[in-house]
Amino acid sequence: MAEATRTAVFGSEVGLHARPASAIAKAAGESGHSITLVTAEGKKGNAASILTLLTLGVKHGDEVTIEVSGDDAESVADRFAELVASELDTE
């Protein structure tokens, strides 16, 4: 199984709260891959779990590592890094 790692700066202005967590979890679940977010402090969370994401305490500008396992992991990791770096708090 292929694995890929990317680093991104969290882009949502108000941090990782319900709306951004929902968008990230939805994208992770739909990807068909195992995706983990890791904070600079070493907290890890399954990106497909909204509740787990909320416990990470990620704020705007925090660096997070994205770990992807599955077929085409490199491409999925690239897309997921772009998602994490974007503003996810717009309606």
Active site residues: 17
What the block records as the tokens of 65 is 């590592």
Give CA separation, 91 vs 50, 58, 60, in Å.
18, 20, 18
Report the C-alpha gap between 37 and 47 in whole angstroms.
6
Give CA separation, 71 vs 3, 25, 65, 76, in Å.
8, 19, 19, 9
